[in-house]
A and B are shown apart, each in its own frame.
Chain A
């Protein structure tokens, strides 16, 4: 098929920069009348660890199934390594999937499960044995070759599923909540291993999870999804430190989301009044200043709020207020302290404190000093009128 000039120009342009491994362009997908994705675009770099994170039902699995080829989009194109694969069946795409349910073949043993894609490709017996042995060693499964899937533990099945999809050396691996069925300790272990394997093999991973901590620890880049839309895309630190919306702020880590009025704004700072009570000047991180008199959401991370029994002496610019304690929840190594920071606002406000720095429990009604820095007030999207 001859390329149009537009397509040629596009492929030229992408050659110069880092050519993306996978591109979703304007994908729309609905099931019956339910629109799951509309005009969804995303590009994935070679050998990167990209995580899709979002609440259950936001379309994460649908995106993976579209990429793998199990679902056809109603509109848009899927480009893999410069080739349009939108209309190719799953078995013609250089992509493998680790299924949440593992989907191991019950009639094959571990060796044959892992060898499946190699046999399909008609590799010779010697080559198959070599590759399977290598991948099994990588997944720490050596010695289990002749076990059937029903003779394995959950963690081992997970490893077989991973080994099976790695054996074919795809350029892209899709993982749909692969650790969802494992207990917490095993999850943490597997997270490290997955990350190490991904680095070692130089395979791009698209990883789906609804666990923000998992996303933060493993990923090169995170895509935060909400209702089929990308809320924010960026590196884990960026997402945590500079969330753009109240959804991202509260989904990726804990946040006190409050409403504020913009009094004035310049290129360097924004003057706001939080919940009509607290005045502060926060640094303007985005160069586009917010319109004055507009209302915005702001977020304050609970771990950035300090609580003091006496008025602190330090003179660093900070918001300092004498407030009443509503409730003290002891969590072990840390404590949640709910505060009555605003007279009128119904929004809860809490601080996360190291338990070791608190002298005993705080009683409801007790007066304390709450302190946070202006740069810890994160200005988010404009607030909708209600």
Chain B
């Protein structure tokens, strides 16, 4: 870990010194922009253009918008005001932000608890034929439309849904119970959508553990549980961290799940933004919320990057 950081420092120094050292007497040296020849810039231009149009400009626009004011009928008055960010700090909005963090964290945790045994089974217990089948099954939710899946959950969880029908028939319930519009249904939906993001990195991490290490642990007197805690779990830590961040980050911005399976009391940050842009027609406030969300996503990804760096420097 340390050497990586030190290398980065050296790299940075070299970059910052390079323009000063450039000799203008060298022929064609004007072709070099920064440290990269102009030709490379030209070759990269489609990609650069892509990033410029689709990433940099909307983000810039959003950021500018977040400092604007709202006029009558949703008119945007360009200005530099922090009023929108002040408004976000009101309890009603903070509640939603807090709820979003809690739901995202809970989803990541539940996915970890459900995903670990699954990944463990696929990596260690299944024979190779069944392994491929199980991995395929794990990928399936990626290929189903989110909307279709959500409607399926509506059918299963609804007042006239499968679960209620079954429980009424069995006499467990006397009146239908509303599973929808509860934290339960929203988190269930999130877990359903994001579980593969936990299982796959976990599986990859577990698969990489040499089997002789597990044999060595047994050989030295550790039974199943102790081997799990002292060898398998520490060695699968990169997978746990990757999975948790891969789930936590997109959960912060998710709005479909809460829109359909939840209600006003389970709305998340994504729904709030959706609401400001469409229903409330308050684009500047929506933009400020988006900037906040982006800030949270960036810090999440930053930690993910740190884990990745640690993992690669360990290998």
Contacts and interface: CB of A to CB of B under 8 A. Distances in A.
Interface of A: 68-70, 89-91, 95-97, 99, 101, 103-107, 116-117, 119-121, 164-165, 168
Interface in B152-195: none
Interface stretch (B17-25, B108-116, B215-223, B265-273): B215-223
Top 5 closest pairs, chain A to chain B, by CB: A103-B216, A117-B220, A103-B212, A90-B218, A120-B221
Contacts of A121: 221
A89 B218 contact: yes
26 contacts: A68-B219, A89-B218, A91-B218, A91-B219, A91-B221, A97-B216, A99-B215, A99-B216, A101-B210, A103-B212, A103-B213, A103-B215, A103-B216, A104-B216, A105-B216, A106-B213, A106-B314, A107-B234, A116-B217, A117-B221, A117-B222, A119-B230, A120-B222, A164-B220, A165-B219, A168-B221
Interface in B188-231: 210, 212-213, 215-223, 226, 230-231
Given A107-B234, A116-B230, A165 B215 contact: no
A91 B210 contact: no
Contacts of A117: 220-222
Contact of A120 (B215, B220, B314): B220
A90 B231 contact: no
B231 A105 contact: yes
Contacts, number: 61
A90 B219 contact: yes
A318 B226 CA distance: 68
Q: Chain B: interface secondary structure?
A: helix
Contacts of B292: none
A107 B235 contact: yes
A22 B215 CA distance: 21
A168 B220 contact: yes
Given A106-B235, A107-B235, A116-B230, A96 B220 contact: yes
Contacts of A104: 216
Interface of B: 210, 212-213, 215-223, 226, 230-231, 234-235, 314
A302 to B, nearest CB: 40
A90 B215 contact: yes
A221 B124 CA distance: 39
B258 to A, nearest CB: 39
A97 B231 contact: no
Contacts of A99: 212, 215-216
B72 to A, nearest CB: 63
A159 to B, nearest CB: 16
A103 B217 CA distance: 9
A125 to B, nearest CB: 16
A21 B90 CA distance: 77
Contacts of A165: 219-220
B209 to A, nearest CB: 10
Nearest to A119: B230
Contacts of A107: 234-235
A97 to B, nearest CB: 5
Given A90-B218, A97-B216, 8 more contacts: A90-B219, A91-B218, A95-B219, A96-B219, A101-B212, A103-B215, A106-B235, A117-B220
Contacts of A95: 219
Contacts of A68: 219
A116 B220 contact: yes
Contacts of A101: 210, 212
A127 to B, nearest CB: 15
A271 B114 CA distance: 79
B221 A105 contact: no
A373 to B, nearest CB: 50
A91, A104, A164 pick with most chain B CB within 10 angstroms: A91
A254 B213 CA distance: 39
A297 B231 CA distance: 54
